[in-house]
Amino acid sequence: MINKQRLIDEFLELVQIDSPSSKEGKVAQVLVEKLEEIGCEVIIDDAGVKAGGETGNVIATLKGNREGKKLLFSSHMDTVSPGVGIKPIIDEANGIIKSDGTTVLGSDDKAGIAAILEGLRTVKENDVKHSDIQVVFSIWEEGGLFGAKYLDYSKLNSDYAFVLDSGGSPGEIITQAPAQDAIKVKITGKPAHAGLQPENGISSIMVASRAIENMKLLRIDKETTANIGIVKGGIATNIVMPELEIVAEARSLSEEKLDAQTNHMVETFKNAAAEFGAQIEIETNRAYAPFTVCEDDAIVELAKKAFSNMNIEGHTASTGGGSDTNILNKNGIKAINLGIGMKNAHTLEEYIAIEDLVNSAVMVSELIKEA
């Protein structure tokens, strides 16, 4: 029932509308028009004002014509950098759509948006009876999940939420994802001339090096990871580095393990600063909570039934990445993240198989039918 060419054309259209994080205004207006054409009631909330972006989340409601579980479908509108001036290429020989190699493709997450739109159209065009359906196209998911955090939850009344934002092919059901702590560190040492009186200085980079040398990083255990992501400092080679800023993170499926890892990182930085006589400022923030949905939960069974209708075996999995799914669950809406086939996301080699794009749209329509 899916109109394959229409789906491909719409995906190509969407990825060519620039929408870096906080700059989703143009694509939001296009999506409002598309959703209204389908028959949805559409609003834009005030998340953009709260987050400091140019638009809010697009929230749409398609009224149902039968009883059943009320479903929410969600994908995010923003893309990572470099994501301006995307030029998608259809590689017919390999059955994929890719970028031209100078930018990301933006299938993360406009493939999810295109699949939702096509799934809704298919349901409408074939007069499929359905319960109430809601759609959220969120802002600024990349780098902070700000759209979901500032989403106007008073506008939602859905029983289950399906987030289309995972890299596995359709059939993948993400039922577990970690919490994340953001860690910001500022080390203040003492400047000195590096050639004349280096012994009079306190090198902030040496403090950081000592801390990192004694720190457990990368893969901690099967549930926990940690990483130093950004290091900024220095004035000139002839000055002992007086200040240094570090941005790090820790993640875990277990909040107890996450607390332990974050505390370990904080204490290691403090100990190194004390050893060298440097000053240190550390800020930690729980960016988002973890979520776990039981494998025998009704929402998982619904997804597996939809996949069965497609002759696809649904399977559950956990992920090391956060998504809007974490925030929806935290706000009382049971949500799972579904694979839509985007590969090598956040790189210049990003691509999506056309078959996965089509199956993602079929998945949306089958979920609606089965609800």
Dist. CA 335–CA 341, nearest whole Å: 19
Q: What is the DSSP letter of 163?
A: E
Q: Please choose, from the candidates 82, 83, 72, the residue with its C-alpha nearest in 3D space to the C-alpha of residue 27.
A: 83
**Active-site entry in 10, 108, 132, 141:** 141
With b meaning 16 or more CB within 10 Å and e meaning fewer, what string describes 72-81? bbbbbbbbbe
**Separation of alpha carbons 265 and 249, rounded Å:** 10
Residue 206 CB partners (closer than 8 Å, separation 6+): 189, 276
Written as six digits, the tokens of 238 are: 């002839």
The SS3 of residue 331 is: coil
Residue 259 a catalytic site member = no
Asked if residues 44 and 56 have their Cβ atoms less than 8 Å apart, the reply is yes
Concatenated DSSP letters of 223-279: TEEEEEEEEEE-S-TTB---EEEEEEEEEESSHHHHHHHHHHHHHHHHHHHHHHT-E
Q: How far apart are CA 19 and CA 25, in angstroms?
A: 7
**141 noted as active-site residue:** yes
Answer for the pair 26, 110: CB distance below 8 angstroms, yes or no.
Answer: no
Q: How many CB atoms lie within 10 A of CB 54?
A: 15
* Residue position matching structure tokens 């089509």: 358
Distance in angstroms (rounded) separating the CA atoms of residues 315 and 337: 12
The active-site residue out of 10, 45, 78, 350 is 78
Contacts of 74 (CB under 8 A, 6+ apart): 112, 135, 136, 137, 138, 161, 162, 163, 164, 165, 324, 328, 335
Cα 147 to chain centroid, rounded:
10
Write out the catalytic residue numbers. Answer: 78, 141
